[in-house]
Structure 1
Amino acid sequence: MNQAADTALFKLATELENGRLSLMIDADVNRFAELLSEDVVYVHSSGFTDDKTSYLKKFRDGAFVYHSAALKLEKVSALGENGFMATGSVQMDATVGGVLKHLHTLLLVVWRKESGTWQLLGHQTTSLPQG
């Protein structure tokens, strides 16, 4: 890829991720659901894993309430013309299972274009050591 394509892909990844985080903070579960691939694998920093159905049920039931998020993407890598992987970090305040938490995690996401629309295919966060 050339520099212009790299810049455009980084911009796209940033827009998609910031949009995803905004929908989470706004608790807009229906629009958030539209971003998820039917094949999504959503791995939480706790080590728990969800598919689309189980994640959306937890989100709708209030298991996760997102208050704020700050994204810092570091690297975006093309996966052909219809996909990319992005890595970076995110700081987030969320109520998880009734407990307010400040999360600072490493982030890996995979997006794939499905029927002309970008869909989140994979998500994994890893907690950074406290200190």
Structure 2
Amino acid sequence: MFLTNPYISMNTTLMLMMCFFGFAAWAQTSDEKDIATTVEFLRKAMIDGDRASLEKITAPELSYGHSNGKLEDKSAFVEAFVSGKSDFVTITLTDQTIRIIGTTALVRHTLTGETNDSGKPGSVKLGVLLVWQKQNGEWKLIGRQAYKLPQ
């Protein structure tokens, strides 16, 4: 009866497929959670201007692109935040997506925030692409590009 009933067979097949795809999604969850935590660590470090945290989370090869087209390497990126030249008072991230491809992670989100760059108050709304690479078991930021969105 079990093998000859097409509905039971179809249900069994569907349940097995759901279990398989559920397991596949679960397998990705660990890296996605790690990336989400790492992005939050970066967000806080940018607000705090914390040199040690900014240096820890970024790779030596960092290419950091601003929405105005300016590019910075790791040293310039860290120094800008530590000195207050780039100063986020608040950062809110929304619409975040994470895609893991081997040892690379692509993160996209909308960033809204209040700034105080070089003592000049302002606000931003940006689309952001972050590129992360797993190096020695830790996710490091290797690329970032922002673009302006209508406020």
- Normalised by the shorter chain, which TM-score bucket? 0.7 to 0.9
2:36 maps to 14
More strand by share: 1
Which one has the largest radius of gyration? 2
Asked if 1:96 corresponds to 2:96, the answer is no
Q: Distance in 1 between matches of 2:110 and 2:127?
A: 4
2:89 maps to 67
Q: Secondary structure at the match of 1:10?
A: helix
- Deviation, 1:103, is 0.8
Asked if 1:44 corresponds to 2:36, the answer is no
What amino acid sits opposite 1:68 in the alignment? T
Residues 74, 26 of structure 1: CA spacing in aligned structure 2 closer, same or farther, 3 A cutoff? closer
1:129 maps to 150
Tell me how large the CA RMSD over aligned residues is: 1.7
Q: TM-score, normalised by structure 1?
A: 0.88
97-106 or 2-11, larger mean C-alpha shift: 2-11
Q: TM-score, normalised by structure 2?
A: 0.77
1:117 maps to 138
Where does the alignment leave 5 or more consecutive residues of structure 1 unmatched? none
- Deviation, 1:18, is 1.1
More helix by share: 2
Identity in percent: 23
RCO greater where, 1 or 2, for CA within 8 Å and sep 6 or more? 1
Is the 8 Å Cα contact of residues 40 and 122 (structure 1) preserved in structure 2?
A: yes
What amino acid sits opposite 2:120 in the alignment? V
Is the 8 Å Cα contact of residues 111 and 122 (structure 1) preserved in structure 2?
A: yes
Q: Distance in 2 between matches of 1:114 and 1:30?
A: 18
